[in-house]
Structure 1
Amino acid sequence: MTSYQTRPLVHVARLCHISVLALSLILAACGGASTGLNGSNGSNGFSALSSISLETPGLHCAAGGARIDAGLDANANNQLDASEISSTQYVCNGMTGNAGAAGSAGLASLVSMTAEPAGANCANSGYKISVGLDANGNSVLDVSEVTSGQYLCQGTAGANGNNGISSLMVIVAETAGANCAYGGNKITSGPDTNLNGALDIAEITATSYTCNGAPGPGVSWTNVSSTAVAGQSNIGYLANNASEVTVTLPNAPQIGDLLQVSGVGAGGWRIAQNAGQSILTKGIAGSNAPAGLSWTARDIVRTWDGITSSGDGSKLAAYVVNGQIYTSTDSGVSWVARDSNRGWDSITSSSDGSKLVAAVNPGQIYTSSDSGVSWTARDSNRNWISVTSSADGSKLAAVVNGGQIYTSGDSGVSWTARDSNRAWISIASSSDGSKLAAVVTNGQIYTSSDSGVNWTARDSNRNWRSIASSSDGSKLVAGVFGGQIYTSIDTGVNWIARDSNRNWYAIASSSDGSKLAAAVFTNKIYTSNDFGVSWAARENNRFWRGIASSANGNQLVAVGSNDQIYTSVGVQTTPGVAGSITGGQYDTVSLQYVGASLWLPLSYTIFSSSGIQAN
């Protein structure tokens, strides 16, 4: 460590928030006869001394710090007695940083020492010590940031006296540790008794520390031009690549840790998860986190058999075998009985939930244009077993078990028979009603691309039980009772077997076909967030009979025979490595770890057309 006497030099030192401080600052104030000539008969001039002591949090330093006293050693005992103090200066610790989505670290406390010419403040010149907080973060104590200042002045020259003993001060960086939890500075002082211009260890009479404030929960930013990076706590990542940049959550975060991602490049970003981790997404507007993780029982035990949902999941309609139809306008919280007791066997809804179609087996088809308040009987008595609707409710298709397929282009007023008599069991439609897909018990799958006028047999004979379609009709999923589940991404031309042999009974799909839910009779509900490639068991074993999904897959509703209605809302990503959230160029999100392997969104900004998505 090198020290300097302060008479010929001026130094500025930053007292905290510096990782490496190479500069040593020595404040040396000369004695009363420091400028006098050496004489043989004069007495020694008074030495100027400084003293450092800890300042507890209070009036002078809100977060504590150090008190620097200075004065002349009038009694020549090489100690600055209380009666000799002529000036006092405080160097305060930095304050704790403010919390926020990108909170700042503690403000750095700065001190500067400049030469003060002879004048009103110091008759024989001296030094001005200024202290303040580095509000603008430029590591310089600007005039506007000075909060206090004191002067350390030279003593009056003695007549033919010897030079007084100088008092030296040294300021060096203090690393984070026992003395300063977040680092800071160490200040030592004492008289230069050997007159070598350096503060030697034996000459130190006082030691104090000025410490950095605790950092707020902020982030430091780093540019990522690669396509993958292992995330670290309290780091912000600028995803800067033409391809998607994957940032994996920190593996062992502490409560309060942050992670932020901003999409700079055209490829956007993905936040991936480690085993067991999940991101709460309910607070992100438009997020479509998958449902199915938790379920809430609704209404009472009845012989429920089928259910349908509006696109936003707010309007629901379910029916009871040989009972009534029940509707809900609050996502299943409350239910109202509609129409009469009938042998209902299928129900479907328009996207807005205003138009409903229900089939009776044996009996007629019934339509409603007021969300189920009133109903009108349509067509003839048949063994109707499944019905489907276009998004606007104008194009309908229904199948008769042992009979034909029937289509309607006028919301069910009139119907036209299609194809042949088969053991039809389930039918699904694209949003515009042009693409249809139907399954036959112990038969094949049949598809139509012209609203049911013509049909093509697909795949093989199986014990098909149900089928569902994406909004555009290109992605299909069908279940075999006692067999596997099958998916197609080319409108039914080719099919891939998924999962295991189960009693697949009812299936629902999100509008894009990525999020699927299937009910297994006398078993569990299974969900998939990757177009059916992988499946996860949800809820408990029940006599599941029907299931429906909102358009984004964020809400599910299912019914069980001799059981209740169950609803599930997606509030978080799928736990573990299968879950993630994605954003496009200029989309941003800030996450905070809240414990229990959960990350909470503190803020987000959406610029891209797709927004922030979850799975």
Structure 2
Amino acid sequence: MWIRSARAWPILEELFCGIVKKASGYRDIMRKEAIAGLLILIMLAAIGGYVIMNNDGNEPNLPDDDDNNNEISDEWDVYYVDSGDDLPACGSATLGRLYYVASTAGFETCTSAGWAFVDLTGPAGPVGVNGTDGVDGADGVNGTDGASGADGTNGLSALAVTSMESAGSNCADGGLKIEVGVDGNSNGSLDEDEVDHTQYICNGANGANGQDGQNGQEGSDGDDGSASPNTMLTSISTPTLQACSSGGRIINQGLDNGDGGGTAQNGILESVEIDYTTTYCSNFVTTRITDVAKNIGSSPWGNGVYGWSNLATMGTSVYFSGTQDGNYVLYEYDTVSGSKAREVELPGISGIGNQFTSSQPVAKETTLFFEGFIDGVGRSLLAYESTNETTWVVADLCPTSTSTGSSNYCGQVDDLIVMGSKVFFTGTTGISYPWNEELWVHDTTNDSTWQVVDINSGGNSGIQSAEYAVMGSRLYFEASDGINGFELWAHETTNDSTWQAADINSNSGSNGAANDITVMGTRLYFEASDGINGFELWAHETTNASTWQVADIYSVGHGYANDITVMGTRLYFEATDGNSGNELWAHETTNDSTWQVADINSGSNGNADDITVMGTRLYFRANDGISGNEVWVHDTTNDSTWQVADICAGSCNSNANNFVTIGSQIYFIADDGYFFDNELWMIGIEHTITYD
């Protein structure tokens, strides 16, 4: 229909008001519809003005004013149709006319290209303000609990299995192998395909700790925590010495699930998350092996092991000197069978006349060499063959002396040492002072014995209680030619030559000495004095025959470096700096540093006697001022020192001495205070495993 001015306003008003009402009824609709309505009014006004100015109101094609006619004539060229289907043909008659299409609520106009939609959309209005939140409703009533679910399947157990690890790529010196995993088939055994983690606890090699290196640069941040709360974590720690006197390992396992208030999935096994604990504990076990004093002789008083004689090992047996009713006898103890120590019969007439008088027996393969006193022969070099249990006189150095008196030292044999097929020793051939003590040798290949050299001729003693050291084909020892005093000497076995290796105290007739000679590589270490700095630690390099003082431990007195023992590149010994008394000291040869390792008895003498190496540990006799002279140990891996056992309980002295090793056990002589006699003792290590 065509809208005339008289009735156009109500229609436009209704159209505009509908748009406004629609906008006001829905605040969240943008204002574009209201703007569109306003634009419609502007256009209609413009068009109306045009019509008023160019139409006289007598258009013959206009409909009449009949109220029953749907077309309303006016001077405006604005038309109304219900839908696009009601639009007339677009031609010259309708060109430029504007039609409002009710079905699309839009305007179309006839153009030379046809009917075209008139886009009256304005710019988007701003976003409306959100309405206020409504009030939360009241909580509903809890529903009833559901029925319990069925029990889950049983969980899997974590297992740990230990076994001995032979020396190889995993442990150079052997050790303990620990396998950990989950028992997937629940058969109670950790099968090979169930092993998740393998840990080796290796025996330490005979090496010494190096000096601390410089701190490294800070590492990068670690990985994020566990990916799952079901991740199994393991931590390994060391138990206290009170719990495990010889060390051990504590292995804790648990899930990284935050149990007990811990932090889940942080990659750290916290104490509250630990589900399983396995403790591998090693404890020293100290045992008295023999009871010679109780079982031998008519009275226990005065019987037992000869307190300060050297122990000798041959195969799996330990040999030592014992007393039986005042007589010295040779005993053998088999460490494998553990049977009672038995007496080794000496050749000749049995009884009081035959005695084992040697304090230093030495083993060569299956034969033991020692000094014995044979009735009618006197002191002689004896031998015992363990394979057939026979004993015989090897050599009588004093055939003209057959005195049965033990005070006659002619024929005495001391300081025995094995070099290849030969046994070297200090032999005495004088019947009175100065005894004529010199270097002797016995060749086992042809059973011959002879004096090697007469260092101090004229019946004088060239050697007095020498401590021989073997380096290759050469023997080093302390001796005196009667001119230069006691100094370091050498004997070359390949050409039978003997010479003074160093004149440490060059003052005429003064003793430089060479005590406790110890070999490390091509170098000798020993205690000596140049007459200026007192007795200190010295060294002799055999490749260039140079000799020098290694350390001046006590600058205004004697440092007394005794019981020198080698471990790797390090020397351990007993010494004093004048402040701490005699204590355990060390010297590192790689950087020439010397220091006190432990102050066992602060302010007094703690001592460190008879130092013996086993693995990474040192065993020795010491006194803390409370327990007396007892067995102590120093672990070089963590620099810790502690008492192994208080054999003579309380402040009395067990005087443990002469430590020797067989396998993983240490044998020595000690007195537990029973009848005040020495016996053979053993230190072993007992291993236990506990599961919590």
TM, length-normalised to structure 2: 0.37
Higher relative contact order (CA 8 A, sep 6+): 1
TM-score by length of 1: 0.41
The higher radius of gyration belongs to 2
Q: Which has the higher helix share?
A: 2
